[in-house]
Structure 1
Amino acid sequence: MKTISELLRITVVKVFHISRYMQTAKIIRHRHKFHHYMNDDLKSVTEETHFKIVFSNPKEFDLFREWIKKHGGEYIYNKEESKQEGTFPKVPMFHDEICWCDIMTYYLLHVAGFSYHSALSPYKGEVYVKE
C-alpha cells in the first residue's frame, strides 16, 4: 500500500508529464448585446460576436500573428472592448463569407498541428490540443 505522499508524488509527475508536452489553444466567443431604447420603449436589440484566441504557449500566438501577416492580414485584440480588430488574411479557401473563428480554426487544425479537444459550454468556444 502506498503512502499519501507517494500517491501525491505520482499524481504530480503525471500532471507535469501531461502539461509539459501538451499545449492548448482556445477560441473564445464574446457576445455583446446592445438594447436601443427611445422614451423607455425598446426599439431594437443588436448583437455582435467577437472572437479571441488564447494559447498556453505564448510562442504559438506569435506564430499565429506571423501567419496572419504572411497572408496579408493583421490580428489585433482590443482588450478594453473585448473584440478583435485588424484585417482578414487572404487565404485561398475563404472567398465569400469569412469570420475570425473560421480563420482561427483553420490555422489551428491545418497549419499549427492542433486537434479538436472539447467545447466550452454553452457555445462559448472550443479547446484544441497539441502534443
Structure 2
Amino acid sequence: IYILINDYIKLSYETNNLINLNINSINRITNEHNVLTIELEKKQIPKNKKLKIKEDFINLKLPEEFKLIETHKELYLHGMEQKNCVYTRRREIEDGLSAIYSLNYEGGVYTLEIFKRKNKFAIKEIKAKYNEFANKEVINFVEKSLKAV
C-alpha cells in the first residue's frame, strides 16, 4: 500500500492535481491512481504530431461515417474510448502499410484498419468496443464502401 500511496502522490504532482485527503479505502486510492495514470499518459502523447499516413489512404473518398485518424493523440484516445490497443498499430501506419479509421455506424463506433492489396483497399481488421467482433451488416457496409472507391 505504501508504494500505491507514494505513486499516487507522485502522479498528483506530475499531473498538477490536488491530493485527495478524503480517501479511506484501498479501492478508492487505486481508482484515483488509475485515473491519474491515464491523465499522465494522455499528456505524454504528442499533442498534434501527425501520423505519417500514406497518400493512398489520405485521398480515399469514403462516406461520412468513416473518419481517418490522423494524429498520435487521436489514435491513442480512440483506443482508450474503444478499450483496445489500436495505438500499437502506429508503426504499421507510419510504414505505409495501413490506416486506421473510426467508423460510426447505426449508433455503434468501430475501429477499422484498412490496407491496400493488389491496388484495392480491404479490411485488415474491424472491431467494436472491447475488441468485440463487428456484425455482418457492418462488415458488408465497409466492404461495399471500399469497393465504391
TM tier, shorter chain? under 0.3
Higher relative contact order structure (alpha carbons within 8 Å, sequence separation ≥ 6): 1
Compute the TM-score of the two structures, normalised by the length of structure 1. Answer: 0.24
User: Whose strand proportion is higher, 1 or 2?
Assistant: 1
Answer 1 or 2: which has greater helix percent.
2
